[in-house]
Amino acid sequence: MKKVFIASLALVFALGIGTVGAASRDYISIVGSSTVYPFATVVAENFGKTTGFKTPTIESTGSGGGHKLFGAGVGVEYPDITNSSRRIKKSEFEKAAANGVKEIVEVKVGYDGIVLANSKKAPLYKLSRKDIFLALAKDVPSGNVAGKTVPNPNKTWKDVNPALPDVKIEVLGPPPTSGTRDAFVELAMEGGAKKFSWIADLKGKDKKAYKALCHTIREDGAYIEAGENDNLIVQKLDANKDVLGIFGFSFLDQNADKLQGALIDGVAPEFDAIADGSYPVSRSLYFYVKKAHVGSIPGIKEFLAEFTSEKAWGEDGYLTDKGLIPMPEAERKKFRQAVENLTPLSASDL
């Protein structure tokens, strides 16, 4: 009796594994950026509820991790779509092509602002990108002599700019694996560093040194890596009014009663300012579709249609409720067209 039971159990497992390995997938598999995740999930849920297709599964792997999985090959075991809070890198594109992922459709979803916020109980910060660079870079220019830098000596915001409060510099932000961090470094810090003319000149001469100078965040405790959990940063800011935090606009939007976003170059992080591009620290969000999977995995086309419909990503769409900043109409039209025709990306576009 027992033997029969054990034997049948083994058989069931063997059969189970055998059939699973051969089976095809009847749901869309999406991976990628944690910033696009809250938007993609809403679309997926609506898609699952309003159509007969299964709800897509979405993993939040980070932009880089997403491209890695996405570009690993063509077939049911590889994801169909990857979300990305930055554009695909040329190296990633080439790697995917080498693995057989020849045709990738690029879809821009909208914009996201990165905010520097603090507690409502503290005064509002009015920063320039130069202030941000001087407060957070590992090395800062010394005097105004070209090529001369010193390890960042600034202890308080007042050291950075006499107009700012005399408060110790303490900023909570995402770790290096995060797309938010990449974008922040590129837009805010590099933007500030370029205000020094010799650093701007350096870009043409020695790109490596330029990047190292602009993109390296100080490691002496003034910048605190707080993990990818933005809610945690929000709670810490609420508890300690002297600290600033870096995170996506949607978290500021949800916690407007507790937090205020610092003005950057005189512009407050508000919906309209991010949408029209006047807020300097905003970036585009993307997703990438494997064209080879359209048709073999059911529902991809319909999912794309749902994502690019006006009721989702339009001015009044449900994605804006979740904090997505929509693109201007012309741009929306362009990408909707790309989705309908499944226009693949070519290496020369990057």
Q: Which residues contact another protein (rule: CB under 8 A)?
A: 6, 9, 16-17, 20-21, 23, 25, 27, 29, 31, 34, 37-38, 41-42, 44-46, 48-49, 54-55, 57-60, 76-77, 79, 120, 228-231, 250-251, 253-257, 316, 318, 321-323
CB of 253 to another protein, least distance (A): 8
Beta carbon nearer to another protein, 95 or 195: 95
CB of 37 to another protein, least distance (A): 7
The CB-side HSE value for 163 (13 A sphere, CA atoms) comes to: 6
CB of 211 to another protein, least distance (A): 30
Alpha carbon distance 62, 84 (integer Å): 8
Beta carbon nearer to another protein, 285 or 338: 285
CB of 40 to another protein, least distance (A): 8
The count of other CB atoms within 10 Å of the CB of residue 59 is 17
C-alpha separations of 108 from 85, 116, 215 in Å: 10, 24, 25
Largest CA distance in the chain: 87
Residue with tokens 């949800």: 254
Which three-class secondary structure state does DSSP give residue 321?
Answer: helix
The count of other CB atoms within 10 Å of the CB of residue 60 is 19
Identify which of 35, 54, 52 has the alpha carbon closest to the alpha carbon of residue 44: 54
Tell me whether strands 149-151 and 139-141 are parallel, antiparallel or unpaired. antiparallel
Beta carbon nearer to another protein, 131 or 238: 238
CB of 308 to another protein, least distance (A): 18
Beta carbon nearer to another protein, 16 or 266: 16
Beta carbon nearer to another protein, 101 or 160: 101
DSSP state of 33: -
Beta carbon nearer to another protein, 57 or 149: 57
The count of other CB atoms within 10 Å of the CB of residue 273 is 18
CB of 153 to another protein, least distance (A): 36
